[in-house]
Amino acid sequence: MEFSLKPSTLKMSPTSFCMLVVFAISSFPMMESRDVNSTGQANIEYMSLNCRKHTAVLTEFGAVGDGKTSNTKAFKEAITKLAPKAADGGVLLIVPPGNWLTGSFNLTSHFTLFIQKGATILASQDESEYPVVAPLPSYGQGRDAAGPTFASLISGANLTDVVITGNNGTINGQGKYWWVKYRSGGFKSITRPYTIEIMFSQDVQISNITIIDSPAWNIHPVYCNNVIVKGVTILAPIDSPNTDGINPDSCTNTLIEDCYVVSGDDCIAVKSGWDQFGIKVGMPTQQLSIRRLTCISPDSAGIALGSEMSGGIKDVRIEDITLLQTQSAIRIKTAVGRGGYVKDIFARRFTMKTMKYIFWMSGAYNQHPVSGYDPKAMPEITNINYRDMTADNVTQPARLDGLENDPFTKICMSNINIALAAEPKKLLWNCTNISGVSSKVTPKACSLLPEKGAPVDCAFPVDKIPIESVVLKKCSA
């Protein structure tokens, strides 16, 4: 996660930014759906992990979609009253067209929150609408400050079979209030709310919605198994602080596909806990597939691995990625004291345009909890494979900074063609404390990544992780 608010070195005009957003959103297929009919009964079709026996509409619980009336009580009452039905075949709760102002609320198991086209869930800017909760055990404190956090707008813990979907309905985090207060130092002892955070859960689906202007991170599944994030559009100003797009954190068996992210931070940030807290919890992120992502993030990465990686990150497959006006393609972030590992990373088929870096590895990302991290806890970075990539208008192909006495090893790069910007860095490959090989890379890689003998292709697994074989069901209500 990037905390720097320095002006971007990659400039984008408002006109070009809007054109990129419109083009990318229009290229994604929308979920088939029909509006609520004149009788108020839902008549929709959608793809889901599981279909639901029961259906309800938010207005049945007193909600008012005028954008001014708080509907926190209505959301909570709906979910509480529907929970018994959720246990009896599952429940679909429809958010119909309108502007539905709300604070934080918690989901339940065997439950689908369906946000219709023309519906917007508006996040309240009233801090009292967000309960204060303890920090995550693998972090030990909030990410903005040493202390607790505000509950996320849409939360859930210890759930099974929970779905947030729609036909491109919107969640508006109304983040400006939170960004301004954060930048002025207003959060000295508490961390801003995220938009969606699902914890300690299994069989999670987030699909076919748009999230705009999150106060901080957008989608944060943490300590979860079997997660699908699909067909999601995330939009935030490119200078908004810490608006990471999708952050799988200490999760196993996760699929992220067909998403479009414009962010002030990393479009995807893979995490697993922070320093001594992450080491103690020891829950890695593993079996992660990321494919068909389009990302714009001038001050951050398309995909970041870390910096909170103390529980470990392994078996990550990344493919068919488009990056535009983005600071770096893949960035590995770690530091002395992190412990953990980043290993068995496989990436291929990237198309990139206007990038500061393509490959970036940082061994000195020195952000730590207030106290107590172990300076002897060294991270392991090994078996990192990049292949089949093209890039235009690049300032510097690579900045690869391992750690002294703890080098990053087994780095492989093959079949990579990088066209430089008009005024590139003089040192194209800046490499220290790393080792590996390269093959068919232009411009030629640094001497620490030598070519060895006949051309080779870096590894990419031929098997699938289990979640990639899951077929969503066609449901109707």
Cβ burial of 181 (10 Å; 0-12, 13-18, 19+) is middle
Region at 466 (left for phi over 0; alpha for psi -120 to 50; beta for the rest): alpha
Residue 325's contacts (CB-CB under 8 Å, 6 or more residues apart) are: 10, 12, 20, 296, 297, 298, 353, 354
What's the rounded Cα separation, in Å, for the pair 386 and 349? 9
The encoded tokens of residue 42 equal 């839902």
Q: How many CA atoms lie within 13 A of 293 on its CB side?
A: 33
Q: Peptide bond preceding 443: is omega within 30 degrees of 0, i.e. cis? A: yes
What's the rounded Cα separation, in Å, for the pair 407 and 93? 51
CA 123-257-172 angle, to 5 degrees, is: 10
Q: Find out whether 209 and 165 touch, Cβ atoms under 8 Å.
A: yes
Q: Find out whether 121 and 163 touch, Cβ atoms under 8 Å.
A: no
Q: Which helix (H) or strand (E) holds 19?
A: helix 14-26
Residues marked active site are found at 265
217 phi, psi to nearest 5 deg: -60, 145
Residue 132 CB coordination number (10 Å)? 12
Residue type, 310: S
